[in-house]
A and B are shown apart, each in its own frame.
Chain A
Amino acid sequence: MEQVQEKGESVMIGELFGGGVSQFVLDIIALFSIYSIVVLSLNLEAGYTGIPNFGKLLGVAVGAFTVSALSGRLAILFHNLENPSSPITYKDYVQESAKLVFEVNKWLAENPLMAILLLFLTLAIAALAGGAIGYLASYPAIRLRGDYLAITLLAMAEAVRVIGYNYPPIAGGTLGMQVPNPFAAVGENRYAAVTAFLALMVLVTYVLYSKMLCSPLGRVLRATRDNELSAESLGKDVVSYRKKVIVIGTATAAVAGALYAYYTGGVIATAYHRVAWTFWPWVMLMLGGMANNLGALVGTFIFVVMRYSIIRYKTVFEGILPFNVVWLDYMLLGIALLVVLMLRPQGVLPEKPVRTVKKTFYDADRRYKIETS
């Protein structure tokens, strides 16, 4: 199965990285953006709350599968509502997906507003589905020790992948499925437009997450991470916070997955595997620094640039290495993790105390402390 995955991925990457240098830079930015969103959500779960989410794939896959399952069908529905005289009809969506998506794209190119509506609607549905499935998947083990939760989430992510692979209406089974292009109106500059949109999404996520984690919520999350018992003794419901975090994190990852599906223009279940969407984000996070959002971005950037440069300049490595470059990927992943864990477990940018919001509060607090001590 892994072989198929490798092939599927290398085909996709061959398409992605075939172009010139400008295309390469665009691809790097796009992949950096998608992975940044995933890593930010992982940072919320693992870095701030201490949930070892080894099922990051779960959210990403749910997002991508939502897009593949719904986006085309919804677009056709909208099209038929608007043009009742000339509806797009189909018998088997999965079989005819390529043809239907081609027609839908033509229509979307003429109706950019509809395209934007479709994009945001599917992103919202993906987030909702991700949150719901994240809640369900973590439910059996949310009260237990972290390692049980890690195992459960890893297994549940696997389950989503198995369903996506074996139930063709979701993601076209072994053959995959085409996805409509909401950026059809832009025409030639599609990649530039998608990349700009992705970069914007990262910015939004980053700002939202930073705000959220600077709020009292962030403080509670760190407290539950550092000492569950003392947080509970202060009346904080640790389990309910964990549930919230899993829901938010998985929903965010689902948005990333949906964006990735739109970016590549197709979904195939084999492209959503544990290594790419759980282990790589973990490497990025460990590299950049847990519980530091800027660190998460830095780690993602380093990893994405390194990895895709290796793929782009694969031929150079093929001359030097005595083995297939594909395996270098896994080897580097393992070595990078071990080196970071051994030498710099806090990552490139370690966790820092949160900047307090208003100075007056801070002064009052300090005065209170001085007076009482």
Chain B
Amino acid sequence: MVAPILIDAITYSCLYILLSLGLTLTYMTTRVPNFAHASFAIIGSYITWTWVTSRIVSSIENAIEQGLDPREINVLIREFTLQPADYIAVLVLSFVVVGLVGLAQYLLVLKPLSNRGSTLIGLMIATIAVDMLIFSFINIYADYAQAYYNGVLKELSEKAGYKIPLLVKTRDFTLYAYDRLKGLNVQGSLVLLPSLVLGLLAVLQVLLTKTKIGIALRASVENPMLAEVAGVNVNRVYALAWFVSAGLAGCAGALVPLRLFTNPALGHTLIVSIFAASIVGGLNVIYGAFLGGLLVGMSETLIMNFLTLHLGLNAGYRPMIPLLIMAVMLLLLPEGIGGYEWSKFKKRVKAS
């Protein structure tokens, strides 16, 4: 059995790694910090919500058709767990859908704007505008979905002749109870998140060093003009980077409601920590996101836990920790842990 605080630390670290990885990648290609990145993740969360809710509702529907009694339905709702196929479906769906949203942001907003010679400020504002749009759409969807599924449940209750003990809610919801791996007695997300991160590390390593597209990506980031001369379609490479980044955010977001209380505004709180993680790791180094995410995620949970336990500090101050780490980092090492040439540091230490 793992200590709950360690589970929390691992969860947050993995979330931040997945999210800041995408943020770093898009920053490297387009040179604009994407303020809508965390809201991408929340789209994924609502995809998971919809998937799980529709699965539960349809299983209730089946049960009523088979003529199960109220107690059996109650057990059915309580015992419902996600199957491996569910996890895969949710992750793939989130990756594709959110990836397309990210692609749309790049192709429909950022690229036309930079073609028109928009400044860096203009582009940053545009990402905020996209964030606001996504936020409003998520909220509208949340209202709609809640009304829809509660309506369906009401209908089913009438059909069955008794009240089905399930109330659907789309704000401050958690799907924690449905996330159990049978036999292993652990949370599915606890296995999935770290393996997703490690798998990603391996895939990235191979992709960026061994494949043509990965090398093309690195070339386009380093020197777009030269890459174009060498026959790389820089636009297509950037579009791919945006698709993958948003997709990763979607995957991270899809697993968020399995552990945390989720609501449409969660992205607005997460974004600060994600930026902190990206900056700590280095905004110009892909692998930096792994270090930054790990550092920020771990320190946020562990330091806060220490402070609340031993100094009685209000847990509401938690968002301050990534900020302080980020501020210190900007003062000492603005290029980030990953961006600093550590060999220089070694030399300097040896010399002194």
Binding site for B on A (CB under 8 A): 1-3, 46, 50, 52, 54, 139-141, 144, 146-148, 150-152, 154-156, 158-159, 162-163, 165-167, 274-275, 279, 282, 286, 323-324, 326-331, 333-335, 337-338, 341-342, 345
Query: In chain B, what residue has the closest Cβ to A324?
Result: B143
Size bracket, chain B contacts: 35 or more
Contact yes or no, B316 A166, CB < 8 A: yes
Rounded to whole Å, the gap between the CB of B260 and the closest CB of chain A is 13
Q: Which of B84-92, B124-132, B199-207, B242-250 contacts A (4 or more CB under 8 A)?
A: B124-132
Contact yes or no, A331 B132, CB < 8 A: yes
B67 within 8 A of A: no
Contact yes or no, A2 B264, CB < 8 A: yes
Residues in A whose Cβ lies below 8 Å from that of B116: 342, 345
Contact yes or no, B319 A158, CB < 8 A: yes
Contact pattern, B 297-324, Cβ under 8 Å of A = 1, otherwise 0:
0000000000000000010110110110
Residues in B whose Cβ lies below 8 Å from that of A151: 33, 275, 279
Cα of A54 to Cα of B272 in the assembled complex, Å = 12
B276 within 8 A of A: yes
Contact yes or no, B129 A338, CB < 8 A: yes
Residues in B whose Cβ lies below 8 Å from that of A167: 314
Cα of A196 to Cα of B121 in the assembled complex, Å = 35
B136 within 8 A of A: yes
Contact yes or no, A323 B126, CB < 8 A: no
Contact yes or no, B319 A159, CB < 8 A: yes
Contact yes or no, B330 A140, CB < 8 A: yes
Contact yes or no, A341 B118, CB < 8 A: yes
Contact yes or no, A162 B320, CB < 8 A: yes
**Cross-chain pairs A/B with CB under 8 angstroms, 18 sampled:** A46-B121, A52-B120, A52-B124, A54-B128, A146-B120, A147-B124, A154-B275, A162-B319, A166-B314, A166-B317, A275-B132, A324-B139, A330-B132, A330-B133, A333-B132, A337-B129, A338-B130, A341-B125
Main secondary structure of the interface of A (DSSP, over half): helix
Cα of A334 to Cα of B331 in the assembled complex, Å = 33
B135 within 8 A of A: yes
Contact yes or no, B264 A155, CB < 8 A: no
Given pairs A274-B268, A330-B133, 7 additional interface contacts (CB within 8 A): A140-B328, A146-B121, A163-B320, A323-B144, A327-B143, A330-B132, A337-B125
B41 within 8 A of A: no
Residues in A whose Cβ lies below 8 Å from that of B109: 338
Query: In chain B, what residue has the closest Cβ to A338?
Result: B129
In the complex, which residues 93-138 of chain B have their Cβ closer than 8 Å to any Cβ of chain A? 109, 112-113, 116, 118, 120-122, 124-126, 128-133, 135-137
Query: In chain A, what residue has the closest Cβ to B131?
Result: A334
| 3 tightest A-B CB contacts, nearest first | A2-B265, A337-B129, A334-B132
Cα of A50 to Cα of B264 in the assembled complex, Å = 32
Query: In chain B, what residue has the closest Cβ to A286?
Result: B125
Asked, given contacts A323-B143, A323-B144, A335-B133, whether A158 binds B323 with beta carbons under 8 Å apart, the answer is yes
Contact yes or no, A334 B133, CB < 8 A: yes
Query: In chain A, what residue has the closest Cβ to B269?
Result: A1
Residues in A whose Cβ lies below 8 Å from that of B279: 148, 151
Contact yes or no, B330 A141, CB < 8 A: yes
Cα of A50 to Cα of B124 in the assembled complex, Å = 13
Residues in A whose Cβ lies below 8 Å from that of B25: none
Asked, given contacts A162-B319, A166-B316, A330-B132, whether A155 binds B275 with beta carbons under 8 Å apart, the answer is yes
Asked, given contacts A52-B120, A147-B32, whether A156 binds B323 with beta carbons under 8 Å apart, the answer is yes
Residues in A whose Cβ lies below 8 Å from that of B144: 323
Rounded to whole Å, the gap between the CB of B286 and the closest CB of chain A is 18
